Structure formats: structure tokens, C-alpha cells
Structure 1
Amino acid sequence: MRNIVSAVALLMAGTSLASAEGELQLFNWGDYTNPELIAKFEEETGIKVTITDYDSNDTALAKVEAGGAGFDLVVPSANYVPIWREKGLIQELDLSKLPNHANIAPEWRDVPWDPGRSHTVPWQWGSTGVAVNVDAYDGDINTSAIFLDPPEELVGKVNVTPEMNDVISLTLMYVGGEPCTEDTEVLKKARDKLLEAKPKWLSMDYGMTEKMAANDVMASVYWNGAIFRARLQNEKVKYGYPKEGFVFWMDSVALLSDAQNVDEAYQFMNFIMEPENAALVSAFARYANGISGSDAFMPEDMKDAPEIVVPEDLKSAGHFLPTCSPKAQEYYAAIWTELQK
């Protein structure tokens, strides 16, 4: 899911992007698209791809909803897909133009957030957990206490990624609640816990692959693939799955309702569902994908990586986030606003 948006991408996102035959405008999470994949697609098709980055689901949704951005494809997370659909921002796919749709792995073909895969195709999936530099702390890392009740060794050394849904959901599960709850007592417990913990944090930021690899941050709420990449640079970085509950997510590619380069968009979606190309998607950002047959092309070090293979005794603690009700979204927003003060 992901990294900080660049200043250049922000500048691009602030203007309407012209469409033209043989072009494709992809609106995707930052640091999430393999340049090798894009180069291969451009060489095979002659289509020029322009990528504009965003840093959160809310940023992407707000930009497209404002209109006039000129994007063709977007990559929302599972719990946001129903929102994009309800707002009419993405269109139903013509599966006759996607012969590789049959390559979607059985477990990802009919998902709660997109029944029958009528509006999206898989990009990548993973988890949100906690990362710790074990030189700084050698205790249990499979707990959200790392950021909500930081051990003394980590006080002032913890980062919390500013992704509202992930952070509040992790906190709700830590205090015994469930994501998207409307129970005000449980929500108050989560708010209080976050406000109590915040003075013990170093930052609320992105870019943790680089910062944890460089020992600038000793612990962080973050995404598994990005921490995998950090660990490849610094063996002391480890990824934990909070036993109180952690987040599973899947990001999928959707065709925007006002897309101008529709044929090019279909070519790209079909292209990324080729097993060899799906493996290229994963090889860069280090997340799993949802395409059958891609394992044969995946990097060897991903096949048994602890950031990819969830321990058996912790699998049941992982939860895909539901789409919150409007009331729950209001509660989340209120907590998040207070946390930003």
C-alpha cells in the first residue's frame, strides 16, 4: 500500500492531464509501480504510461471526486471500492476485453467488496502490522502495544503511518473492539489510547522503507512489503503481526467512469493479469498478488519471507477491513482530527 507522494506527482495531480491515443494515465500509490513492468508494457504496446502518485485512499478519492484530473485507472483498497462504486466514479468492466480475467486466483474472484470482480482486477495484497528494529527492542513484536503502549526502549522512536483507517482499526482491535464499530464507548477507549500514546511517538510519516533501513526510526506501523524491503537493507528490521488484531488489505485496479484512454486501460489491466507480469508487480513493492501461476515467476526470497508468510498461530488475528458506515466514518474522522492537533 505504498509510500510518500512526491512533490512532482503533487504538481502533476494539480493539473488536468491531457489524453491522447496511445497514452494511459495511471493514478496509483507512491513507490508502488515497478518501472520494469511499465517499460515492458510500453515496449509491447507502444502505449506511453504516465503515473501520478497519491499517499492515501482519501487523497485519491478526493482528487478524482473533484473532477477534471484526467486519470484512466486508479488503485483503491478493498474497503474503498464500494465507496468508489456508490459515487459512480468507476465503471463496470467489459470482461470480454479481459481474457486474462480467468487468471485471477479462485480466492480473489468473488470478493465481498467487488462481487464477481465486476469493477476491479487485482494489483497487490498484504497486511498492516508493526515493524521493529530488534537492536532497539528484543521483546514481543507481535502486538500493537509497540505503538499504543510503547516499551521504554522505543519511547520517542516510534512512527505511525498517517493512514486513518489502518491506525484506528488497529487501535479498536487493541482495546477489544472491531473496525467500523459505532459503539461510542469503544470508540472513546480507542481515542483515549491514541491520545495517550501520541506523545511517545517520534513521527506520523511515510517513507519507512528508507528510514527504518537507515536506523532513523526504530519502530513503525507500516505495510509488510515496504518493511520487507527495509529488512533486505537492514537485517535488524523485523515485521510483527499484532495478536490483538491486524489488517489485511488488497489494492485493485479500477477503470474510472470518465477515463479517456479506455482501450489502453483495458490493455494494461489484461497485461497485469498475465502471471509473469503479475510477478513483476510483486517483485518491486514486495507484496503478494492475486494471479494464479505467478508464483513460478516470483523472486525466490519472497516465497518464504516472514513479511509475506503469516505465522499459522496469528492468521486468525488478520481481518480485511469492512467499508465503514457513514456514522462510523464520522467517528473515525473526529478521532483522526483530534489526533492531528
Structure 2
Amino acid sequence: MAQATSAPAQLSASDSARMMDRWSRRDWLRGTGAMVAGLGLAGCERLRNIHTKAVGLRGTLNILVWDGYFPKELFKQFESESGYRVNYQTFESNEDLRSILQAGAVKADLVMPSAFAAKALATEELIKPFSVEKFVGFESSNPYIVPYIWGSTGIGYDCDRVVGLPKSWGALFSLQPAPRIPDALRDFRPIEKVAMLDDARFTLGSALIYLGYDPNSLNEKEIDAAARVLSDARDRIRYDSADVPENLRTGAYGMAMAWTGDVTKALSGYPASAPTVLNPQPKMLPGNKALRIALPREGSIVFMDSFALPTSCEEIDAAHAFVSFFMRPHIAAAVTNYSFYATTVDGATPYIDRYLINGPSFFIHPSGKNFNLKDVGEMDDYYRGVWSQLTGKPGPVAEPPQSPPIPELEIEDVDLTT
């Protein structure tokens, strides 16, 4: 097993345990209707109190970031302060980002890889160091990245459709009849179809953890074993990273491997579209109050998404100014209030809605089984080759996976009414 990693600085293990306890209790869901209705816009609403003097247009900053992190109002605020227009595009996985940078198909001045993926990007000279002295109060031993967003990976599930608590990753991998389903529902199989993240390292890493291996394994046989787990479940798995919140919210997925922020979003509801000048308060999509999240007993992957400077960057000053702007505590909090993802920024907590602080967005495994993904060097090609065979996506060729039998699934009943 991999060594357990410590939680982000603003959370202690005891804090996390208390949050997990609150999450298991229905009173956490009571009385939140009015607050939740406006939560998706909270970050933007607070920007009304931010006023700066606009400056003349200096140029365009091209950024490539994860979808759903940043409200457009913050881009407008940065444009007003800096004079740089923001042109942003999104990507869905670290593999996609790497391919985009390798091909040079998209002009980018700032990108946002997960921390573990940055080393490979630096080795291939696809990113270059920041001038960290330009960031007030920021210290780092790695000038290639500025950590910004973090979260955990767990199982999002509908407690009205899934009997008991999914305590193991096996709840996703193993198709077994759910116990004690009422006769009226026996013709309905709520967890036959599940979703796994469309991301090689996160999904293969979780399968490795399930089998008792290091999620950063350099052993081909162990990686093959993890791939076999997924291959054996191919008839019931859909790979999806982009639409998990919507599909959990609407009930299209009764169970899914998901990032904590996405589960919060699906539970709480969110705007049907981004706010605009003509429509500053778009319709809120209702949340699914039956959703819960489980951090499997085998352990969970904690991720950290970071700003990075591509070697193709043409607007160096603008990129540094953008990072500095978004590292301000009240701006970072507005990003969390909008995206429902936890922030790494010191001093942001007082500006973040208590609903999020006490909810799944900030969950880490209370047992300490929190794993970080790491750069695996040349073995990354093997991971991508295995992933290509599983998903049909282009990638290096790998040998067909073989593995031991899958461990049995255990689901125990829990009282969700207390």
C-alpha cells in the first residue's frame, strides 16, 4: 500500500471526521433550501462589493482550465483591473491537456494541470517555472506550479436507490444483487449501470487501491490487474468526467465514481447557465437531496489542481497577474462558492459559505487513507496504453490485462435517519 499523505493544511483529521459525521445526518440537509437556491451564484454576488478602476486594453490572455471552476464575473473583474482580456478554453483530463500541449494545437498562456501531472509536463518542456517572487505571500519548493483547487475522489450515490452504504470500491466494480430491496423494486436494478471517471490515473489508481496496491504502481502486473477489474465490469461502466454532476442530479447515475465537489454540486443544484448582463440570475437547477458520498474503506485519491506556465506563453506578465488575482483570499473564496471545490488559499475560509465548509467538498478520508497521485515517469506510457485498450481512446499499445479474481463486494445497511 502507498503511504498515507497528510491532509491540506486547513483541515485536520479530527475536522474531517466531524465533517463526515455531519454528512451522514439528515439534519445537515434540513433548513438549507433558501441558502442552497442561491449558493451557485454566491461567489458572483459578492463581487458586487469589489470596485476597481478600469485600465486600457493591453492584450489577450489565453488560458486552458478545467470546466466549471471560474465564474465569468471574475474574469471581467480581472480584465477591468489588468487591462488583459481573458480568452479561456477547457479540457476534461490531464491526458487531454498533455496531448493539447504536445500538439501545440491551442494557444495558451496559462494552464491548470493536476499537481502529479506537472512533472511530466516539465520533463517534456511543455511548462516552465513561474517567477514566484511576483506572488505576495506565496512560498513553494516547486516553481512550476501554484496549487489552487483540491478535493477527494469517492463514490457518489443516491441513497433512495442504493441499499446500504457503499463501503468499498467494489460497489462500482462488482455486479451483485443488492440485499433487502422491497419486492416492488425487485425488477428495478439501480446500480447495474455506474460511471467511472474518464481519467486513466484516477480510475486505474482507484482500482489499484481496491486491490491493495499503490495507486502509483510501477509494476505492470499490478496495473494489468487493475485494468482487469475495469474490463470485467465493462458492460456496466460508462466513463465520464464532464457530466457527472448533471447525471447524478437527474438520477441518470444511481452511483458514480466522483470528485467531492461534483457531488456537492449535484446535491445542491446550480445555475442552468452562466450569469450574463441580460440574465444576471439564471434559473437554478434543483439539487438531488438523496445524494450522498462514500469514501471507500480501501482509501481515496486526493487531487490538487494547479496553475502552470506553458512554454508557449506569450503574455508572461499577464499570466503572473492572473494567478496573483486569483490567489487573493476573497477571490479564491468566490471561486469555491461558485464551483463547490475546496481551495488551497490561506485566509479564504472566512469568505466561504459554511454549507460548503461543513459539506462533502472539504471531505478527506477520516482514517488517513488519503493518497496522492505521483509522476510515474516512463510507466505513464504503460498506463495510457492500458487505458487505450479499456476505452478505445488512442494511446500506446499495451499487453492485454490479466489479474486475480475480484474481491467480493460488501454493502452494509446504515441508518440514514439519525
Paired position in structure 2 for 1:13: none
- Listed as ranges, the matches of 1:126-145 within 5 Å are 126-145=151-170
Instruction: Determine which of 139, 148, 159 is the counterpart of 2:173.
Output: 148
Paired position in structure 1 for 2:359: 305
Instruction: Determine which of 236, 239, 242 is the counterpart of 1:204.
Output: 239
Q: CA deviation at 1:117?
A: 3.4
Whole-angstrom CA distance in 2 between matches of 1:150 and 1:134: 18
Paired position in structure 2 for 1:320: 372
Whole-angstrom CA distance in 1 between matches of 2:380 and 2:264: 31
Q: Aligned pair count?
A: 306
Paired position in structure 1 for 2:309: 255
After superposition, what is the alpha-carbon deviation per residue over 1:191-241, rounded to whole angstroms, capped at 9, x for unaligned? 22111112123x222301111111111111111101110011111111111
Q: CA deviation at 1:142?
A: 3.4
- Listed as ranges, the matches of 1:1-341 within 5 Å are 21-67=58-104, 69-99=106-136, 102=137, 104=138, 109-110=139-140, 116-152=141-177, 153-201=189-237, 203-205=238-240, 206-232=242-268, 233-310=287-364, 312-313=366-367, 316-326=368-378, 328-341=379-392
Task: For 1:133, give the aligned amino acid.
Answer: D
Q: TM-score, normalised by structure 1?
A: 0.85
Whole-angstrom CA distance in 2 between matches of 1:40 and 1:339: 43
Q: CA deviation at 1:307?
A: 3.7
Task: For 1:24, give the aligned amino acid.
Answer: L
CA contact (8 A) 2:58 2:83 kept: no
Whole-angstrom CA distance in 2 between matches of 1:154 and 1:338: 27
Q: Pick closer, same or farther for the CA change 1:67–1:225 going to 2, 3 Å.
A: same
Which gives a bigger RCO, structure 1 or 2 (Cα 8 Å, sep 6+)? 2
Q: CA deviation at 1:138?
A: 2.8
Q: Pick closer, same or farther for the CA change 1:67–1:182 going to 2, 3 Å.
A: same
User: What percentage of aligned pairs have identical amino acids?
Assistant: 24
Whole-angstrom CA distance in 2 between matches of 1:39 and 1:182: 45
Structure 2 portions without partners, runs of 5+: 1-56, 178-188, 269-286, 393-418
Whole-angstrom CA distance in 2 between matches of 1:154 and 1:197: 15
Q: Pick closer, same or farther for the CA change 1:151–1:308 going to 2, 3 Å.
A: farther
CA contact (8 A) 1:130 1:222 kept: yes
Whole-angstrom CA distance in 2 between matches of 1:230 and 1:192: 30
Whole-angstrom CA distance in 1 between matches of 2:361 and 2:345: 19
Task: For 2:371, give the aligned amino acid.
Answer: H
Task: For 1:55, give the aligned amino acid.
Answer: E
Q: Pick closer, same or farther for the CA change 1:258–1:334 going to 2, 3 Å.
A: closer
CA contact (8 A) 2:299 2:365 kept: no
Alpha carbon RMSD of aligned pairs, Å? 1.8
Q: CA deviation at 1:23?
A: 1.5
Q: CA deviation at 1:186?
A: 2.3
SS of 2:208's equivalent in the other structure is helix
Q: CA deviation at 1:299?
A: 1.6
Whole-angstrom CA distance in 2 between matches of 1:139 and 1:185: 33
